[in-house]
């Protein structure tokens, strides 16, 4: 029996048989030349292949939207965008025209160089796009050759795919009646492949390093997508143990859904507001069905990342208005765009930043692109006339940034008033606390803002200097670190002192253990993904705030995250054993 671990990206338990997917070598094309006079015809052949690939992706997007949801299906819109991107297409065409090589070689060499460059880039945003580039290369080459790309549709029942890496298209193409999970050597939590796995509810573990070298075809394998555990050749006792866990998990899932209509109230009567994080209006129905009371974080970057052109004011307004209609009076908190560290904006720069996550991103990017920023602010204000809307600025690090953002907001208010266009003049304006500087200065910010929302994804990353998408250091990424807890405590204290609401909308809020600590720190609003709402609500209804306060007070006093995590989990196991028994803390 071999037990190993990776990065958990899609929850669930599965016992199956290994299907070892060999690394695709077909993407490596030898250099082949063409006659100079054949270049125009070869360019046309490449163009026909490109259009055929886009047509396939359009169909795949339409099909997958209904099955996987828009969040996962939008990945194929990224691929369509790449096949229309001059920065990708022009080098291929230039090679065909000037070096007189075949479209196959031009496509393979160009995309391979770009993938290698992305893989070596220190920014995880670029690293997570490597599988997308491989996917595009495979699709284009299959169209150029006239052969259909290989799929994983024909595998035996109860199959667990084990591969060095997987592309989103491969993952979406799984025969879901037969493929029950997957494990890869490479990958991170936020890769597109991980997103698709979550949308399909396929238990998945990535970043398992050398799992392909240790596994063999037909081998029995256990995959725990919640903990990141992988077991090869489990013995009979281990198989029986996991069969019982699978049965218990299914019973828990059914019982958790029954809580949807019940309030999130602790045993001592403290009500916790449970909201949802969304990227698309279409997610709201699921959010409400799972018991969410509104939207605590509406990420708006997709308007830029999925279109060929920058969104207009009407594009923004229509999306926000649709959310408001679907929420039917429930609150909507809109975060202004968090751009700057992404492929979309970096490709537009003449000189891309070396480390964009520490560069001109989020509110800095918005303040440097005033026309874009004002367009979004104006649309949000217009939408605020139709329902309860809040506005939230991301990655604020100093008071000058917040004041500048509010200045532009007030200027747009004045213009709308002069034009006789309705808006809510009393719209609440808050900020995300995502960097240590903001947390340490929370008392000063509390005099300026209407609310705080702690964004743990970046707060943990910047506090601990750990990239959570990097499999080499993923184990170091934990919100239950005394330093992180102290920063959140400072924000909560500043909020109470000034009577400023404090929420947490980071991914860590969906972890029941961290949610319990947030309650102990005084946070009374949690915003999580729709799928996480039932488990978080179950946890809340089994806790009392005084006990949570004692647990977090002790956790903050430890010298290391390991001690803090161990203590927290042991305490919570005794309170809510059905939730915490055997769960990872973070």
Q: How far apart are CA 145 and CA 107, in angstroms?
A: 12
Share of the chain above pLDDT 90, in %: 51
What's the pLDDT score for residue 148? 47
Tell me how crowded residue 269 is: count the other CB atoms within 10 A of its CB.
8
Mean of pLDDT over the chain: 85
Please give the average per-residue pLDDT across 5-29, as a whole number: 79
| Average pLDDT of the residues in 14-29 | 74
For 530, residues 6+ apart whose C-beta sits below 8 A from its C-beta are: 276, 278, 283, 286, 287, 289, 290, 292
pLDDT at position 256: 74
Check 61, 192, 316, 481 and give the catalytic one: 192
Instruction: Give the SS3 label for residue 24.
Output: coil
Residue 192 annotated to the active site: yes
Pairing of strands 229-232, 2-5: antiparallel
In terms of pLDDT, which residue wins out, 123 or 357? 357
| Per-residue pLDDT tens digits for 25-63 | 445 677 888 888 888 989 999 998 899 888 878 877 776
Whether residue 178 is predicted with pLDDT greater than 60 in this model: the reply is yes
Q: Stretch 529-551: mean pLDDT, rounded?
A: 92
Catalytic residue among 323, 504, 505, 548: 505
Q: Are 184 and 149 in contact (CB under 8 A)?
A: no
Look up 505 and say whether it is catalytic.
Answer: yes
Q: Please report which confidence band the pLDDT of residue 128 belongs to, taking 50, 70 and 90 as the band edges.
A: low
- pLDDT per residue over 299-313, tens digit each? 888 777 655 578 899
Task: Provide the 3-class DSSP secondary structure of residue 15.
Answer: strand
Residue-wise pLDDT for 256-284, tens only, equals 777 888 999 999 999 999 999 988 888 89
**β partners of residue 20:** 162
What letters, b where the CB count within 10 A reaches 16 and e where it falls short, cover 383-417? Answer: bbeebbbbbbbbbbbeeebbebbbebbeebbeebe
* CA 512 – CA 535 distance, rounded (Å): 7
Q: Distance between CA atoms of 524 and 516, rounded to whole angstroms?
A: 11
- Structural domains in the chain plus CATH codes: 2-23+151-237 (3.50.30.10), 36-145 (1.10.274.10), 271-433 (3.20.20.60), 478-586 (no CATH)
Query: In percent, how much of the chain has pLDDT > 70?
Result: 84
Instruction: Round to whole Å and give the CA distance between 285 and 11.
Output: 22
Between CA 437 and CA 468, with CA 553 as vertex, the angle to 5 degrees is: 50
Helix (H, G, I), strand (E, B) or coil at 101: strand
Q: Is it the case that residue 149 has pLDDT exceeding 70?
A: no
């Amino acid at each position: 029996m071999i037990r190993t671990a990776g990065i958990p990206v899609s929850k669930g338990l599965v016992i199956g048989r290994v299907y070892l997917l060999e690394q695709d070598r077909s993407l490596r094309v030898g250099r082949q030349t063409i006659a100079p006079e054949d270049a125009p015809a070869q360019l046309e052949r490449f163009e026909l292949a490109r259009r055929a690939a886009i047509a396939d992706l359009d169909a795949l997007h339409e099909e997958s939207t209904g099955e996987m949801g828009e969040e996962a299906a939008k990945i194929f819109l990224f691929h369509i965008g790449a096949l229309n991107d001059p920065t990708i297409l022009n080098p291929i065409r230039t090679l065909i025209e000037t070096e007189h090589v075949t479209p196959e070689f031009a496509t393979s060499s160009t995309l391979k160089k770009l993938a290698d460059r992305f893989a070596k880039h220190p920014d995880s945003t670029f690293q997570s796009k490597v599988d997308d580039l491989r996917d595009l290369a495979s699709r284009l080459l299959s169209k150029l050759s006239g052969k259909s790309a290989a799929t994983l549709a024909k595998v035996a029942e109860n199959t667990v795919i084990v591969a060095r890496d997987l592309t989103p298209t491969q993952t979406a193409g799984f025969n879901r009646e037969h493929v029950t999970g997957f494990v890869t050597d490479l990958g991170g939590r936020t890769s597109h492949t991980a997103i698709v796995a979550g949308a399909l509810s396929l238990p998945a573990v990535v970043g398992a390093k050398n799992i392909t070298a240790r596994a063999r075809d037909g081998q029995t394998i256990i995959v725990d997508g919640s903990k990141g555990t992988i077991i090869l050749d489990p013995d009979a006792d281990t198989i029986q143990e996991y069969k019982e866990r699978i049965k218990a998990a299914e019973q828990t899932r059914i019982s958790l859904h029954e809580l949807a209509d019940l309030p999130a109230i602790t045993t001592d009567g403290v009500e916790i507001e449970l909201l949802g994080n969304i990227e698309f209006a279409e997610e709201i129905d699921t959010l409400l069905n799972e018991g969410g009371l509104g939207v605590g974080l509406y990420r708006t970057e997709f308007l830029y990342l999925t279109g060929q052109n920058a969104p207009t004011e009407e594009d923004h307004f229509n999306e926000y208005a649709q959310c408001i209609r679907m929420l039917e009076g429930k609150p909507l908190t809109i975060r202004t765009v968090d751009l700057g560290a992404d492929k979309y904006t970096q490709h537009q720069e003449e000189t891309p930043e070396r480390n964009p996550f520490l560069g001109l991103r989020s509110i800095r990017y918005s303040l440097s692109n005033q026309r874009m920023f004002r367009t979004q602010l104006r649309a949000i204000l217009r939408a605020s006339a139709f329902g309860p809307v809040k506005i939230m600025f991301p990655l604020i690090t100093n008071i000058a940034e917040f004041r500048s953002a509010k200045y532009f907001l007030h200027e747009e208010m004045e213009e709308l008033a002069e034009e006789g266009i309705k808006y809510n003049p009393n719209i609440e304006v808050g900020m995300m606390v995502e960097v240590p500087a903001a947390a340490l200065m929370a008392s000063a910010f509390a005099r300026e803002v209407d609310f705080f929302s702690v964004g743990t994804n970046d707060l943990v990353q910047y506090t601990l200097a750990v990239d959570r998408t990097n499999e080499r250091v993923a184990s170091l990424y934990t919100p239950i670190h005394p330093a992180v807890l102290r920063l959140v405590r400072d924000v909560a204290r500043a909020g109470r002192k000034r009577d400023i609401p404090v929420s947490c909308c980071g991914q860590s809020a969906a972890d029941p253990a961290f949610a319990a600590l947030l309650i102990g720190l005084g946070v009374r609003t949690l915003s999580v993904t729709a799928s996480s709402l039932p488990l978080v609500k179950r946890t809340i209804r089994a806790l009392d705030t005084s006990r949570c306060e004692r647990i977090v007070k002790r956790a903050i006093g430890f010298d290391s995250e390991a001690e803090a995590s161990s203590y927290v989990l042991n305490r919570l196991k005794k309170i809510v054993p059905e939730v915490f028994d055997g769960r990872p803390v973070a």
